[in-house]
Amino acid sequence: MGAKQFGARVARVEDPALLSGRGRFVDDVKFPGMLHACFVRSPHAHARIGGIDASAACALPGVRAVLTADDLPPPMDRNRMPMLVPNPAIAASLTQHCLARDEVCYVGQAIAVVLADSRYIAEDAIALVEVEYDVLPAVSDYRTADEPDAPRAHLALDDNIASKFRMAYGDADADAAFAAAPHVFTEEIWQHRGGGMAMETRAVVANSDPTSGLLTVWSATQTPHICRRMLADLLDRDLESIRVIAPDVGGGFGPKAIFYAEEAVIPAAALKLRRPVKWTEDRREHFMCATQERDQLWTVSIAVDDGGKILGVRGTLLHDTGAFVPWGIIMPYIAAATMPGPYVIPNYALDVKVVLTNKVATTPVRGAGRPQAVFAMERLMDRVARELKLDAAEVRFRNFIQPQQMPYAVGLTFRDGKPLIYDSGDYPKAQQEALRLIDYAAFQQRKAAARAQGRFIGIGIGNYVEGTGLGPYEGVTVRVLPDGKVAVATGATNQGQGTRTTLGQIIADRVGCRFQDIIMTVGDTAAISQGVGAFASRQAVNAGSSAMMASEVVRTQIIKLAAQTLGVPESDIDVDDGIAVARSGNRPSLTFRELARLAQGMPGFSLAPGQTPGLEHTAYFTPPQASYCSGTHLAEVEVDPMTGAVTIVNYAVVHDSGTIINPLIVDGQIQGGVAHGIGNALLEWMRYDENAQPLTTTFADYLIPLATDVPTCKIAHVESPTPLNPLGVKGAGEGGTIPAAAAIVAAAEDALAEFGVHFAETPLMPERIVGALRAVGAYDKLGEIA
């Protein structure tokens, strides 16, 4: 059997509906008698709640109820929300209440919910709910959150430290390496928080069917099965009486992976009021209440020999978790484990401190701690190159882990609890290829030509290794239907990744059916009993492998049944395009339709020995450990010193995500990931004032990249199949974002190298560039040039 779909640029099956307005997103779900919800949210970053008076709101015509924490069913009225990823290193294991009880700890925290006949009335009513606040001092700047006189982010805590841990290998503190090193360079690196900013905000619809007792919840989530488990706990309901559906979801990027208070409150309201209820977040709420990421302060040193070879890396990492720790300490943990990257670093020690502030919690946003780590490491590499007057690419070549060293044990434990062992990859080849793509050899000529025209261009490199394809598992059921079509169900979800297309490609080839005959259900807990969802670039690895495994079992069932029915040996049966054909004789055949009916059996008659009912199998692949994808980005930018504007003129990506299922989709993931990275590098900064009031709560204040900001990347692939799953695939969803800020900021610095400015912050805003140039007197020089 030759692969027909696997590896091909197959057009997506998701597209026709989405292109013609027939997509079905949560806000498109509608029921007769449906109520609309709007949340009363804290206007203060930290306050004690006195009384709540909802009488005026309740009196407004069209308002059906105003619910506060005490109105919620047990145990969610009093219990805090479950911690999704616990870890013994977490000192303050804090999650929030579904509706705040006595204290609010960030602006936007939900206190009450209004249920009304229309969204318009519900919004009118929230202004009429009177909440008494005793405003408390707030922690805004995480850099001073652990100082003794800092306010406390929570009344019940003695300090603001959520966790402290160390990631290290080699000699203790890397002391000996640093003491003996001829060169030690230190950088302080400050990276700011931004958001996922999916174009679809969060949304929840809940409907309890009085006949069956089934509670159905539609949520714009990456993880419907997790949502269902959380709901069962918070509502104290039997899991089987809850169905969660993630229909078309308009982008995820991480913040939709966690379980939110609103996802519990809306179902609780539907149950209490016995009416369907819808809540759709508005963009302002999304800026305040959807989780964010990337606030980290790194103080790191690198020790190198005279040739630029790394002897050790050590330092500290301070991470802002916000007011709560719903996803544990995953991002700082991943960051600390990602720092060594593709380089041989004999000694490594990083002390990590996670602090609480009065801001919305941080949880993974595309990259999850990795972009910050790569930025920190690559800034050190650029520093080494500059100080030792070496080429930036050359310094990296001198330090790469070589392909023959694979599998390579870094010496740390990764986020999956397994030793951090790179399974495969060819880092020097990826960088070599990227240098060729962008014509690095001719860059100095381009730079000189540009400079002669008064333009400033620069080039920067970002290398990374990314742990992808994390467990625990994802499942796929493959079932041949009596009409001959192939039904597929999976716990994997789709927020734009083309999950239906890629899984369909695997299944069509492996079962032997037509791609267009596959009917797939994704994101529905009723379709498959166990599921996890989309995060950590994990679905192609986990669900893809399960799709292959389930398909092969079903194909075997088809061959057995066809051989038995046609009276030929199993080895004589070919399966293709939904037909099992005997190679011998006059080539008798059976269609999937005929086989599926035979496989159902006849009432009263036993199945043949060894035959299983139906043509159906469910497989749950569980990876032995993370698979490590890698790559090199090269950014060529032009900086206008007069405005501080950075224009990306050329961008090359060489990416290794192992075997590629669909190059069209993988390239799309990379290009989109780079766009997010450009936002992180140059534009996106979720700002708060000194009282932790959010300042950037519109797309006019918080800029995300436009069509004029993002070039079409030159993309090439190195394919190092991982031995860790049967397809050889690794994740592809986050690699585009991870090294982008490192490459772009390095390129901007290189463009202005003649002025001696240095950048160690993201995003690199125009005012920062102009400020840096002003500080070094560049404008006097530029004046002379002019």
Q: 778 near 757, Cβ under 8 Å? A: yes
**Nearer of residues 371 and 623 to another protein, judged by Cβ:** 371
Q: Binding another protein by CB under 8 A: which of 668, 721, 728, 763? A: 668
Alpha-carbon 510 to chain mean position: 29
Beta carbon nearer to another protein, 119 or 183: 119
Q: How far is the CB of 269 from another protein (least distance, A)?
A: 20
Cβ density class 241-264: b for 16+ within 10 Å, e for less: ebbbbbbbbbbbbbbbbbbbbbbb
Nearest residue to 574 (alpha-carbon basis) of 555, 598, 549, 548: 555
Dig out the tokens for 684 from the structure.
């996106």
Min separation Cβ 199 and another protein, Å: 4
d(CA 363, CA 386): 35
Residue closer to another protein by CB (options 484, 496) is 496
Residue at 663: amino acid letter: P
Write down the least CB distance from residue 663 to another protein, Å.
10
Q: Which is nearer to another protein, 578 or 763 (CB)?
A: 763
Q: Does 21 bind another protein (CB under 8 A)?
A: yes
Binding status of residue 293 toward another protein by CB under 8 A = no
Residue 643 burial (C-beta neighbours within 10 Å; 0-12, 13-18, 19+)? exposed
Site string for another protein, 714-743 (x = CB under 8 A): ----------------------x-------
What's the closest the beta carbon of residue 664 comes to another protein, in angstroms?
Answer: 5
Cβ closest to another protein, residue 20 vs residue 571: 20
Q: Which one of 125-133, 531-539, 640-648, 695-703 is the stretch in contact with another protein (CB under 8 A)?
A: 695-703
**Could you give the CA distance from residue 700 to residue 100 in angstroms, rounded to a whole number?**
30
CA distance 245 to 495: 13
The pattern of x and - marking residues 169 through 208 that bind another protein according to CB under 8 A reads: ---------------------------xxxxxx-------
The strand order across the sheet containing 486-490 reads 518-522, 486-490, 474-480, 616-621
Q: Are 466 and 673 in contact (CB under 8 A)?
A: no
When the beta carbons of 253 and 621 are compared against another protein, the nearer one is 253
30 lies in the binding site for another protein (CB under 8 A): yes
332/552 Cα distance (integer angstroms): 40
Is residue 18 close enough to count as binding another protein by CB under 8 A?
yes
Distance, in Å, from the CA atom of 127 to the CA atom of 136, rounded to the nearest integer, reads 22
Return the percent helix, strand and coil in the chain, to nearest 5.
30, 25, 40
Contact 662, 653 (CB under 8 A): no
Output the smallest distance, CB 272 to another protein, in A: 24
**Sign of the dihedral through C-alpha 746, 344, 346, 677:** positive
| For another protein, the closer CB: 109 or 737 | 737
Judged by CB under 8 A, which of 704, 716, 765, 776 binds another protein? 704
How many binding residues for another protein (CB under 8 A)? 58
**Residue 667 near another protein by CB under 8 A:** yes
Residue placing its CB nearer to another protein in the complex, 26 or 486: 26
Of 10-18, 151-159, 178-186, 222-230: span binding another protein (CB under 8 A): 10-18
Nearer to another protein, 452 or 700 (CB): 700
Structure letter (DSSP) for residue 197: -
Residue from the set 5, 6, 14, 359 that interacts with another protein by CB under 8 A:
14
Q: Tell me which amino acid residue 318 is.
A: L
Q: DSSP strand E in 201-262: where?
A: 203-208, 215-219, 242-245
Name which of residues 97 to 136 contact another protein (CB under 8 A): 119-120
For another protein, the closer CB: 193 or 383: 193
Task: Give the residue with the Cβ less far from another protein, 662 or 720.
Answer: 662
Contact between 723 and 423 under an 8 Å Cβ cutoff? The reply is yes
Of the residues 405, 622, 642, 699, which one makes contact with another protein according to CB under 8 A: 699
Q: Taking the complex as a whole, how short is the minimal distance between the CB of residue 13 and another protein, in angstroms?
A: 10
33 forms part of the interface with another protein (CB under 8 A): no
Q: What is the DSSP letter of 606?
A: P
* Residue closer to another protein (CB basis): 357 or 537: 537
CA distance 647 to 231: 47
Residues whose CB is less than 8 angstroms from the CB of residue 568 and which lie 6 or more positions away in sequence, other chains included: 582, 584, 585, 588
Stretch that binds another protein, among 8-16, 354-362, 422-430, 568-576 (CB under 8 A): 8-16
Per CB under 8 A, contacts with another protein among 487-526 are 495-498
Nearest distance in Å: CB 222, another protein: 11
The CA-based angle 541-542-544, given to 5 degrees, is 65
Query: Which of the ranges 332-340, 414-422, 685-693, 698-706 carries the binding residues for another protein, by CB under 8 A?
Result: 698-706
Question: Which H or E element spans position 434?
Answer: helix 427-437
Q: How many CB atoms lie within 10 A of CB 157?
A: 14
Residue 444 carries which side chain, given as an amino acid letter? Q
CB of 484 to another protein, least distance (A): 23
Residue 22 contacts another protein per CB under 8 A: yes
Contact with another protein (CB under 8 A) among 170, 194, 247, 250: 250
- Could you give the string, one character per residue 251-280, with x where binding to another protein holds by CB under 8 A and - elsewhere? xxx---------------------------
Contact 549, 619 (CB under 8 A): yes
Q: Report the C-alpha gap between 431 and 716 in whole angstroms.
A: 11
Of 423 and 734, the one with the shorter C-beta distance to another protein is 734
Pick between residue 453 and residue 712 the one whose CB is nearest to another protein: 712
Does residue 777 touch another protein according to CB under 8 A?
no
Instruction: Give one DSSP letter per residue of 37-90, joined into a string.
Output: EEEEE-SSSSEEEEEEE-HHHHHSTTEEEEEEGGGSPTTTTTSBPPPSS--TTB
Instruction: Tell the smallest beta-carbon distance from residue 247 to another protein (Å).
Output: 11
Cβ neighbours of 618 (radius 10 Å)? 18
* Contact status: 712 vs another protein (CB under 8 A): yes
User: Angle CA(335)–CA(341)–CA(346) in degrees, nearest 5?
Assistant: 105
d(CA 763, CA 679): 8
- Letters for 209-248 (x = contact with another protein by CB under 8 A, - = none) are ---------------------------------------x
Please report whether residue 648 would count as binding another protein according to CB under 8 A.
no
Give residues in contact with another protein (CB under 8 A): 11-12, 14-16, 18-25, 27-28, 30, 119-120, 196-201, 248-253, 282-283, 495-498, 664-665, 667-668, 671-676, 698-700, 704-708, 710, 712-713, 736
